[in-house]
Structures are given as structure tokens and as C-alpha cells.
Amino acid sequence: MKVSQYTVHSPRTLPEALNILKDATVRPIAGGTDVMVQIKDDLVKETELLNLSYIRDLNYIRDDGDFIRVGALATYSDLIRSRLVNEYSPVLVEAARTVGAVQIQNRGTLAGNVGNASPAGDGLPPLFATGAKIKLQSAASEREVDIGDYFLGVRKTVRQPNELITEVSVRKMKPGDYYFFKKIGLRSANAISLASVAAVLVPAEVLTFKEARIAMGAVAPTVIRAKGAEAAILNCQLTDEKMKEVGRLASEEARPITDIRATAEYRKQAIAGAVYEGLYEIVNGFRSPVNGSGA
Amino acid sequence: MDALDKVTGKIKFFSDMKIEGMLFARVFRSSVAHANIVTLDTAEAERLQGVRAVLTYKDVPGLNAYGAIIPDAPVLGYGKVRFYGEPLALVAADDQETAEKALGLIKAVYEPLPAVHSMDESLKPEAPKLHDRGNIARHALILKGDVDRAFRDAHLTLERTYRTQSQKHMFLEPEAGIAYTDELGNLNILAGGQNPYRDKMQVARSLNISPEKVRVINYPAGGAFGGKDDVTVQIHLALLATKTKRPVKLVWNREESGVGGFHRHPSLITLKTAVSDDGRLLANDSRIYLDTGAYQSFGPTVLDVTIEVINGPYLIPNIRIDANLVYTNNGISSAFRGFGGPQGNFAIESMMDEMAEEMKMDPIDFRLKNLAKSGDIGPFGNSMRNMEGIHEALSRLRNSPLWRLGKELPPKPWIRRGTGVAIAIKGVGFGTIPDYPTAAVELLPQGKIKVLFSNPDYGQGVNTGNAQIVAEALDLPMNEIEVVNADTQYSPDTGSSSASRGTFTSGNALLVACNKMLDRLRMEAALYLESTRDGIEYASGRFWIKGNESKSVSIYDLAKGLRAKGETLKFEGTFEVPRYPEPVKGTLEVPHVVYMYGAMVSSIELNTLTGYLDVKNVDLMADIGNVINPLLATTQCEGGIVQGLGFATSEELVYNQDEKPMNTNYTTYIVPSIADIPRMYVEFIKTYEQYGPYGAKGMAEIPIVPVGASIANALKQASGVRYYQLPLTPGRVLSKLHEQGQG
Ligand SMILES: Cc1cc2nc3c(=O)[nH]c(=O)nc-3n(C[C@H](O)[C@H](O)[C@H](O)COP(=O)(O)OP(=O)(O)OC[C@H]3O[C@@H](n4cnc5c(N)ncnc54)[C@H](O)[C@@H]3O)c2cc1C
């Protein structure tokens, strides 16, 4: 079907939108950077579109105690420009900068990345590494789902057709936390991740860590945590040997596929490398921790 | 000249055009790579409401074949299918959707034949035969001296095999055009192309009509790079417009361009090369295989260029070239910027690097030592001319900061830096093929000069360059020059925009035309000023009597007088492109009289953990003769470098088991993005080509030729591992690093 053949609803308020969504044949569209491509490839089965762009109430990034509340219309560019996000979730900013190119960052939303539920979504590993929550609202109900429980498979989530993602709550990182985001793609911009990894490390003492969360993208049907690698980091000296081992453990947990972009074997090798790179940069002073002062 | 109109969208490309009452065309293509066609049923499609014509091979009145050199590819397939995406039927309908739908109603039944996936397979004796005459479309054997004896006496001999891939042109405007029959019954074809007169000939041949009834316009096109050199949409449009008696538009979509469009010839080249103990090249024995796909298109001349560059610009006393053009079921390979140059260059310049390394010589010194000098006799008995430019280019590169500073240690241990050099040679124009480009200038009494020539400007700027040449020749300001480009009704036949020949051929022909015009005007001025032809002077559009500037007349006033007398104000000029009388046996066009040269240094950073290659800098010192327009020349070089970067690192058309191209759009076919573009430095060595217009040679291809080798050579320096296959994708790089314990 051609774009012009869809019925498009453009409500101004959230209640209106949720009302329209009661009808299950409606597909939400925010920035459209995934939906438009999918329409062209004939992958959108719904015949109606719910255009969210005019719902002002969904366009915000707000400070709320331990969380940054990111409204469903906040784009990557909004995240990159937000002092709050730079201060308390620099790992998300680092990832946002790798999404597509400026044009895509200006249109694409974080909620859309969640909604699209691709394992290669670059906004997602930081959400796993920081512990985010997804708010789902329908005309009748409202609930919050931990990011770790949200995805069921490639393009499969717990979201019901009558629910809208209205907010992504990003848990703030703490001053002193270290982090990295690494993306492996086939070019420097507008590349789909062959593998990606986001990590947040909470220090115990100088360069030893009491908590580690490592999330990997594009190496399984959903973003996954590298639990073995996380465990191996805790409370020990991160020697070169150790960092390589952590990388190896992460790659053992990866279950990538071979496709036209890269082989499974390459993705495994690359993710091991990316994890090592990030750790090395932390240990050798290439990266500063969160300082909580908006730097 | 047309830059502003292009960036503001004022210029309408053919794919933007609408004509009252036009129909929309689509092409039905094979969904198998190799098969006998059992039946092709179009009945249902014909019955669909809104469909105005469905054509098959039966509807081709003339020769059902096209091909720039040998017409061996069916206009519409019959009997046998030889690649996935081969056109079998055409549909024209009232709208795009109906045309699309009609395609779905056409039913082809095939009897599958085993497909030939690669040259290695194609060359096996038991391989299925694609054509009656076998799987080798063309073969040449060229000998000079005695390579075998040289190998026996050599200090060191290396034998290496190199492979390069199929590269797509990825022009922003895919193959597209529009056609209609005018009130006079002439067929007008407006389509992205590179040679309107050859298009015209091929259309007339297939429609079995007089070429006089066909008008082709190729300007403006949104990029071509060789991919529109042979026919794409033109004959199909002509067939449909004739059949339906309506205007018809055909625009391939990106995926269709991927499967149905042309691409660069993959190559498989083995070099056996020998040096003396003091580092002099003694022998080069090359076995060249190019994969031309299902049909020849420009294959023979692409092979010629590989033959021509396979010994570089070096002086090598003993040479053997065994060159083969091989059929496979991989689409159709055709012209692509550089023709076979980048392929051959990757082989010879990788070899030169390895040889220098084995000899413990600096790679630049090694090359300088073996570079031919002016007056030396080249591999084909040709005289090497103007070699000073490339000598200077290479010597200067040695002093470039890039070459000297590339070696500092990077801060992160998994990043390795490397710098690599490569030099290139590429002919301008068609070599020994007779080439008589004709162009014209027309004097408009209202105060303009019209410049008419047919090499299409598809973005490279030949219109501007030629306008400058005419402005210079007539000593007029640029705003008095107008260009009529690539329209067979008005532009004389200047030949194609290809082989870096645009400026050289049309520029020269225009100079002849300008001289004729000035000569004629001078006589007219003599008459008018009551003087003699030697008694008057000319500058800036005016003639005057020597020593008496007050007695003068402008060329435009003279034009009015001439017009009143009924004289033509249009002056044609034809240029004879200098050439050797005969091609080397087995080739069509080897050698050339005029060659461009380039020397390139690339610096890279390799990530040994991910295999990712970050090309940081590319410096190019080029000898393109005198530079007509430095801005255009520089941006052409930058564009060529970036296209070469894609060839070197990321671009590769990949086929699945069924020989269907898998990565046919910008998401999956990886052209460099703006963020991948290295810092580029382009400089032109000051040279002057005596045969060129104002000393110019040509230039569009030289920048792309050495990129692959210079980057692979840099990678060797960075990693210690030599790569013999392009593109250098992260996966390919990393797996070999691991293999060699460097990961
Ligand atoms: C050229 C290009 C480059 C790209 N590069 C990257 C990249 O580098 N990394 C990356 O991760 N992605 C990339 N993408 C994909 C895309 O930009 C991102 O996934 C983006 O986050 C999608 O956001 P959007 O607002 O455009 O979503 P849309 O396209 O509007 O929607 C995406 C999906 O989410 C659903 N959806 C959207 N909003 C909601 C909501 N509020 N509630 C429920 N469902 C919703 C839609 O129905 C749809 O299924 C790229 C896309 C393009 C075209």
C-alpha cells in the first residue's frame, strides 16, 4: 500500500489518541523513520496510522528524582541537547549520537526505537544498562514495565495493540559511575549495528567495581545482558588479561546470526573487542565518570 | 554553470518530468538466473483495466539485441534467461500502480539450468555454457621479450593472486527516461545516458526505423559513472511509446537498478613478477580474468584497460599478458569509472609494494626507480610521453607530511596506523579506435554564443568546462555563453561522456569551431571596416582596424549582417583524436597516445579488535594536463576518491544461492557516508598536453584508479598482513588478522 492510501489520524491530545487506538488496526507513528521504510517494504499490515506528532504533551524530557522522564516524542537530538540527560545518562547520549545521522536524530524518537523492538536499536542497550522503565497507557489502563521484561523477541513486545508507549523513564546514573557505548557498523553514519554494547560500572574503590551492567545489541533476538561478563568484572583488578576475559565472556553469551551484513563469527569477535575497548578506555583514563555537574 | 539550478531543484531530471497523457512503464524481469523459458504468459496482464500495452520479444521489430560493442544482450529475453533480472516483458499502464499490478499477472515458466556463480566455476571444462561459443567472451595474449628466461635469471620472483568485487554505480537518479512521438512523427527519447548518438543508433536498430526519426536527449542526468553508458531504458521506452502512441515514462526503482543495472567487472588477476638484485623490474606475467556477467556490453574495452594498466607506468622489459573476459550468470558488468583500471591497479600496485618490501626498499624509491621516462618504449611499442609529471608527483609525495608522519604511535594499543602509496596510469579516450568528435558554436545576433556538443553532462561539469574553453577562445565573458548539451537534434556528434574524454574531445572540437567562426567573422569585419583580414585586430567580441580603435564592430553586429545575407551563423569543428594506427593484437583500443597519471598516499587507522578501517587522509597528486577549471577538477577528484574508498572498503554486490543480488539499496549496499570521508588533499602537477584543448588531458577516472591499492598497502603497513582481495570489510579484515595471529 502507498503512504497516501493510509487513513491518518492526527490527534492533539493523549486521550484522543488512546481512544483511536482502541481500534486495533491502527499503527502509531512518531518520527516515522522506521514506519516509512516498513510501509515501502509492505511490512505494515494496519491500514490506519496514528500520527503522534501533534500531541504536545508527549514532547518532554523531565527531571523526576531518580529518573529522567522522556516523553514519547523526544528525539535523539533532544536527548543529545538535554543538559539533564548529558548529566545523568551520558551513556544514552553517547548512543544517541551514533543513531543514523543528524537527519534521523532530528526525527527519530527513543520511544520509537523501543516500539520498533529491533535487537539492533541503538537506543536500547543504554536503557538495559541503566535500568529503564517503559510506560504503557491505554484508554482504560496504565502500567510500567521494566525494560528487561519488555521485549519478547524480534519485533515482539508485551505492548498490547491498544496501548501506547507514553514515556521512557531512564534511571539516573550516579556520580562516579563509569560507562561506555560501542557500536560496530559497516560505516560511520547511517549504519545498522552489527553489534553494540552499553555498559555502566559502579565503582567500589579506585577502578574496582561493585556493580556492572553490560547490555549487548544485535547479537540475539532482543538486547541481552552479558551476565557472565558482568560478574567477572566485580571486585577485582581489571588487568589487561582480565579485560580480555570479560570481552570473551560477553562474546560467549552472544548468540548472533549470519546475514548479509556480517557473519555470526564476526559479530562475536567484534563484541569481544568492543567490550575490551570500553574497559580499557575506562581503566586507562580515556573516559571520565559521571560527575553530576552537567559536564 | 547549472549548479545553482540543481541545488535549488529548478532543473527537472527526467524522472521528475510529467507529460500530458503519459503512461507509466514497468519491466517484467526474470526471477531466475539461468533457465530456458518454457512459456511467458501475458494474457491476464493485458486484460487488466488500465493496461495499454504488454510487449515481449515478439514485439521488437528490429534487432532484438543491444550492446555498445557487440549487441549480444536481448532487448527482451527469449529462449534463454542468463541472469536474474533479465527483462522479458514491458508493461505500460495509466498509472504506476496498475503497471505494477500487471507485472504480478505475467507468468513465466522456466526450465532451470545450473547457474554459473563465479569465474572459477565458469572456467571449469564441465561448466554449463552460457553462450554457444563457450564461456570465454574474449581472449588476448600479448608478449614482449621473454618472461620465462627473465624468471630464470631473476633475483626474486613473486606470484600472487588478486581479486576485486562487483561494484554498483549507485547514482542518485536511477535509470530513467521518458519518450514520445512528436507531431512530425519523430520519436523523442529523453533519458539518462552517456552517448546520445549511440543510443539513437541502438534504438533505431531495434525498432527498425531510420535513425533520422529518433531524437535522443541525455541532459540532465543525476549521475552515471559508466552505468548509463550502454542502453538502459531507451529501447524499452521507444518500443512502448511507438506501440501505444502515447508518451511513456519509465523509472527503475532502486532495487531494480540493483538487479537489472550494470556494475563493475569483478576481477581475478594473477601476477608473476620478477626483479633484479638492484631492484629493477625484469618481468611481469599477468593472467587476467574479468567477469562480464551474462553479456559483453563494454566488457571488451574494460578488459583492454586492465591490459593497459597491468604493467603500470613502469619500464618492464619482459611482459606477458593473458587476458580473458568470462561469462557468468552475475548480471551484466559494464563501464564503470576507470573501466578495468582500478582492478588492474589493485593487482600491480599491491605487487609493487610487496616487491619493494621484499627488496627492503622504500616503496616510493622502488617505484621511482622503475618508472618509465619520456621517450621510453612502453609495453605495447608505444612511446611514453610526458613522464615528468608522474615523476614529480611521486617525488613530491615522499615529502608529504602524510608519508613522513604516518608512523607515530597511536594512543590506543588496538589502533594501528599505516600509510600506503600507489600510482596510476589511465588512457584518455578510445585509444586506437578512430575518434572524430564534432562540436559547434553558433553566434546569436542578440548577443550570445551557443555551444553545442553531445557528450552528456551528468554532473561532472563538462558544460562549464566547455563554456570556459569557448569563452577563452573567443575572448568573451562566461555570461555570453550558452550550452546546448547532448540533444541529437541540435548537438553534433561529439561521442560519449566516458573514458575521461569529455573535455579533451569536445573542447578540441569546439576550438576548431571557434577558429572557423573567428576566421569567417574576421573576413566579414574586414569587409565592414573597409580593411583587409590582416589589417584588423580582435579582442573581447570586437574587431577594429589596427591602430584605430574607434573604427570597430562587434561580432554580434556582424552576425546581424550575416543573417540578413542568409548565411549560417553556426560553425562546426571536428577534431581528430591522435592515435596509433593499429590496436595491439587481441585488443580493440590499446594503446593510447594520451595518458593521465596520479600518485596517491592514504593513511589509515585500523582497529585490530573490530577489523574496522578508518581511512584518515588521502593525498592525490595528479597529472591531468593543464587544468581548465580547478574547482570542478578538484571536486571530481574528491568524488573519485570517495567512490574508490567504497570500492576499497565496503561496496560489494552480493548474490544469494539463486544468483539474486541481495543488497540493492543504500541500507544494505554500503557506500561511504559523509562521516566516512577522509581528509583529502588534491594537487595538480603543472603539465601541458600538446594535443589537449589549452593543454588539458582528461581527469574523471584517474582519482579512483589507485585508491584500492593505496589503502590495501596502508593496511599492510598497519597490520603486517597483506590483503589480496577487495573490499576490505571489517569481517574480511578481522578474520585474516585472526588467521595470522594479529587480532
Ligand atoms: C537512514 C536511517 C538510519 C537509521 N539508523 C539507525 C541507527 O543507527 N540506530 C537505530 O537504532 N535505529 C536507526 N534507524 C531506525 C530508526 O530511526 C529508529 O529506530 C528510531 O528510534 C525510530 O523512531 P521513530 O520515532 O522514527 O519511530 P517510528 O518509525 O515512528 O516508529 C517505530 C515503531 O515504533 C512504533 N511506535 C512509535 N512510537 C510509538 C509509541 N509512542 N507507542 C507505541 N508504539 C510506537 C511504531 O508503530 C513503529 O512500529 C535508522 C533509520 C533510518 C531510516
Contact (CB, 8 A) for B69 and B296: yes
What Å distances lie between residue A44 and A41, A47, A49, A111, A166, CA to CA?
8, 8, 10, 18, 21
Closest A-chain CA to B738:
A269
Within a domain: A293: no
∠ CA B314-B318-B323, nearest 5°, is 85
As for how many domains chain A has, the answer is 3
**Helix ranges (DSSP H) in B51-172:** 96-105, 119-122, 147-153
Contact (CB, 8 A) for A86 and A180: no
Residues of chain A contacting B411 with CB distance shorter than 8 Å: 286
Residue type, B742: Q
Within a domain: A294: no
Instruction: Please tell me whether residues A33 and A97 are part of one structural domain.
Output: no
Question: Each residue of B103-143: pLDDT tens digit?
Answer: 999 999 999 999 999 999 999 999 999 999 999 999 999 99
Boundary (domain end) residue, out of A155, A171, A187: A171
**Residue B440: all three cell numbers together:** 559547434
**From CA A67, how far away is CA A133, in angstroms rounded?**
9
Instruction: Please tell me whether residues A113 and A142 are part of one structural domain.
Output: yes
Q: What are phi and psi of B247, to 5 degrees?
A: -65, 145
Closest by alpha carbon to B696, among B638, B636, B635, B633?
B633
3-state helix, strand, coil in chain A (%, to 5): 35, 25, 40
Instruction: Please tell me whether residues A14 and A96 are part of one structural domain.
Output: no
**From CA B673, how far away is CA B663, in angstroms rounded?**
16
Within a domain: A24: yes
The 3-class SS string of B540-555 reads: CCEEEECCEEEEEEEH
Instruction: Please tell me whether residues A158 and A252 are part of one structural domain.
Output: no
**From CA B28, how far away is CA B15, in angstroms rounded?**
19
Beta-strand (E) ranges in B576-612? 595-607
Statement: residue B9 has pLDDT above 90: no
Closest by alpha carbon to B111, among B84, B79, B85, B143?
B79
Instruction: Please tell me whether residues A239 and A188 are part of one structural domain.
Output: yes
Within a domain: A290: no
Residue A181: strand pairing partners: A198
Query: B734 vs A269: CB contact, 8 Å cut-off?
Result: yes
**From CA B248, how far away is CA B23, in angstroms rounded?**
5
**Residue A195: all three cell numbers together:** 553489534
d(CA B741, nearest CA chain A) in Å: 14
Q: Residue of the nearest CA to atom 25 in ligand 1?
A: A31
pLDDT band at B508 (very low <50, low <70, confident <90, very high): very high
Mean pLDDT of B36-42: 98
Within a domain: A130: yes
Please give the domain boundaries of chain B with CATH numbers for all domains: 3-113+180-251 (3.90.1170.50), 263-430+584-739 (3.30.365.10), 438-574 (3.30.365.10)
**Residue B426: all three cell numbers together:** 589511465
Residues of chain B numbered 86-145 and touching chain A (CB < 8 Å) = 97
Q: What is the pTM of this model?
A: 0.96
Instruction: Please tell me whether residues A76 and A36 are part of one structural domain.
Output: no
Query: A273 vs B609: CB contact, 8 Å cut-off?
Result: yes
**Residue A28: all three cell numbers together:** 502509531
Residues of chain A contacting B674 with CB distance shorter than 8 Å: 101, 189
Question: Each residue of B402-457: pLDDT tens digit?
Answer: 887 656 677 899 999 999 999 999 999 999 999 999 999 999 999 999 999 999 99
**From CA B232, how far away is CA B194, in angstroms rounded?**
11
Q: A35 lies in which domain range?
A: 3-51
Question: Each residue of B482-504: pLDDT tens digit?
Answer: 999 999 999 999 999 999 999 99
Q: What are phi and psi of B349, to 5 degrees?
A: -80, -25
For position A31, which CATH number holds?
3.30.43
Instruction: Please tell me whether residues A111 and A83 are part of one structural domain.
Output: yes
d(CA B349, nearest CA chain A) in Å: 26
Residues of chain A contacting B670 with CB distance shorter than 8 Å: 186-187, 191
Residue B425: strand pairing partners: B597
Is the dihedral angle over the CA atoms A61, A62, A68, A72 positive or is it negative? negative
Q: Which atom of ligand 1 is nearest to the CA of A191?
A: 8
Instruction: Please tell me whether residues A62 and A167 are part of one structural domain.
Output: yes
Closest by alpha carbon to B217, among B203, B207, B206?
B203
Residue B281: strand pairing partners: B275
Query: B412 vs A266: CB contact, 8 Å cut-off?
Result: no
Q: Is B412 on the interface with A (CB under 8 A)?
A: yes
Boundary (domain end) residue, out of A171, A201, A218: A171
Closest B-chain CA to A284:
B412
**From CA B541, how far away is CA B531, in angstroms rounded?**
18
**From CA B198, how far away is CA B316, in angstroms rounded?**
38
Closest B-chain CA to A272:
B609
d(CA B726, nearest CA chain A) in Å: 15
Boundary (domain end) residue, out of A126, A141, A171: A171
Q: What are phi and psi of B348, to 5 degrees?
A: -65, -40
Instruction: Please tell me whether residues A155 and A191 are part of one structural domain.
Output: no
Instruction: Please tell me whether residues A212 and A115 are part of one structural domain.
Output: no
Closest by alpha carbon to B678, among B725, B651, B640?
B640
List CB contacts of B174: < 8 A, sequence separation 6 or more: B15, B251, B252, B253, B254, B256, B257, B261
Count CB neighbours of A5 within 10 A.
9
- Chains A & B: contacts with CB separation below 8 Å: 74
What Å distances lie between residue B727 and A12, A195, A265, B332, B707, CA to CA?
50, 20, 19, 20, 11
Q: Which atom of ligand 1 is nearest to the CA of A98?
A: 8
**From CA A214, how far away is CA A234, in angstroms rounded?**
12
For position A277, which CATH number holds?
3.30.390.50
Within a domain: A292: no
Is the minimum distance from the CB of A32 to ligand 1 under 6 angstroms?
Answer: yes
Within a domain: A291: no
Residue type, A168: V
Instruction: Please tell me whether residues A64 and A155 are part of one structural domain.
Output: yes
For position A76, which CATH number holds?
3.30.465.10
Instruction: Please tell me whether residues A84 and A62 are part of one structural domain.
Output: yes
Residues of chain B contacting A260 with CB distance shorter than 8 Å: 654, 662-663, 668
**From CA B409, how far away is CA B290, in angstroms rounded?**
40
Residues of chain A numbered 228-267 and touching chain B (CB < 8 Å) = 260-263, 265-266
Question: Each residue of B329-380: pLDDT tens digit?
Answer: 999 999 999 999 999 999 999 999 999 999 999 999 999 999 999 999 999 9
Say whether B110 sits in a helix, a strand or coil: strand
Q: Which of B610, B650, B670 is closest, CB to CB, to A270? A: B610
Contact (CB, 8 A) for B391 and B372: no
Within a domain: A228: yes
Residues of chain B numbered 715-734 and touching chain A (CB < 8 Å) = 729-731, 734
B727 preceded by a cis bond (ω within 30 of 0): yes
Contact (CB, 8 A) for A262 and A194: yes
Residue type, B515: N
Contact (CB, 8 A) for B319 and B142: yes
Q: pLDDT truncated to tens, each residue of chain A (295 aa)?
A: 777 889 999 999 999 999 999 977 899 999 999 999 999 989 999 999 999 999 999 999 999 999 999 999 999 999 999 999 999 999 999 999 999 999 999 999 999 999 999 999 999 999 999 999 999 999 999 999 999 999 999 999 999 999 999 999 999 999 999 999 999 999 999 999 999 999 999 999 888 999 999 999 999 999 999 999 999 999 999 999 999 999 999 999 999 999 999 999 999 999 999 999 999 999 999 999 998 654 4
Q: Is A45 on the interface with B (CB under 8 A)?
A: no
pLDDT of residue A2: 78
**From CA A94, how far away is CA A198, in angstroms rounded?**
9
**From CA B148, how far away is CA B274, in angstroms rounded?**
10
